[in-house]
């Protein structure tokens, strides 16, 4: 299988890349920087920004599946940055998949897209989105998630949205600083 991982140089992206390589898949990443260790492991690196539609389309060419992991996960920052990376970047990933006949898109969302300020135990994907968000990150991820779900089945593209909770482990540099 030929797989693209957007944000493949980040913590979660690298974990996905590692598992894909272990399975014997051909892996390409789209990332802002170069990652020589991944290139030496056989990963094709495309350097670019998820907000650049042409670069995202180039990265999607020839792929069977796209794991869209690139995101701006923070509490503080400018709306424009969150919207550009989290929503416009997701639109670019969907457009790249559609332009190049990619069959599957796996979107990395967040449980925060449904957080309404109350304890949420035992809920499933039918739980509604809240009317307001506490910061820009979940607001833009929710808009992107809805976009991905709405794209399911369009021109043969199958999409899914995952909401992993508290992703951490070896090489994490957010929860456990170096």
Percent of the chain's residues with pLDDT above 90: 84
176 contacts: CB under 8 Å, gap ≥ 6: 168
pLDDT for the residue numbered 170: 75
- Give the residues across from 66 on adjacent strands: 4, 105
Helix axes 89-99, 136-151, angle to 10 degrees: 20
Place of tokens 């014997």: 24
Domains of the chain, start order: 2-162 (3.40.50.720)
pLDDT for the residue numbered 172: 74
> Confidence class of residue 161 from pLDDT cuts 50, 70 and 90?
very high
136 contacts: CB under 8 Å, gap ≥ 6: 77, 78, 79, 82, 83
pLDDT for the residue numbered 177: 66
- The pLDDT tens digits of the residues spanning 32-73 come to 999 999 999 999 999 999 999 999 999 999 999 999 999 999
- Residues involved in catalysis: 137
pLDDT for the residue numbered 171: 74
pLDDT for the residue numbered 150: 98
pLDDT mean over 106-126: 92
């Amino acid at each position: 299988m030929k797989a693209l991982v957007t944000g493949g140089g980040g913590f979660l992206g690298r974990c996905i890349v590692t598992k894909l390589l272990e399975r014997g898949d051909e892996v390409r990443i789209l990332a802002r920087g170069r990652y020589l260790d991944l290139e030496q492991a056989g990963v094709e690196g495309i350097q670019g920004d998820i907000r650049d539609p042409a670069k995202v389309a180039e990265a999607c060419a020839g792929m069977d599946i796209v794991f869209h992991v690139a995101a701006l996960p923070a509490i503080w920052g400018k709306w424009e940055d969150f919207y550009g990376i989290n929503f416009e970047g997701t639109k670019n990933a969907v457009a790249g998949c559609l332009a190049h006949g990619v069959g599957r898109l796996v979107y990395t969302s967040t449980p925060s897209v449904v957080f309404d300020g109350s304890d949420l135990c035992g809920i499933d994907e039918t739980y509604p989105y809240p009317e307001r968000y506490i910061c820009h990150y979940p607001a833009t991820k929710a808009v992107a998630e809805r976009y991905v779900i709405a794209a399911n089945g369009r021109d043969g593209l199958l999409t899914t949205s995952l909401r992993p909770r508290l992703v951490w482990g070896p090489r994490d540099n957010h929860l456990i600083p170096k």
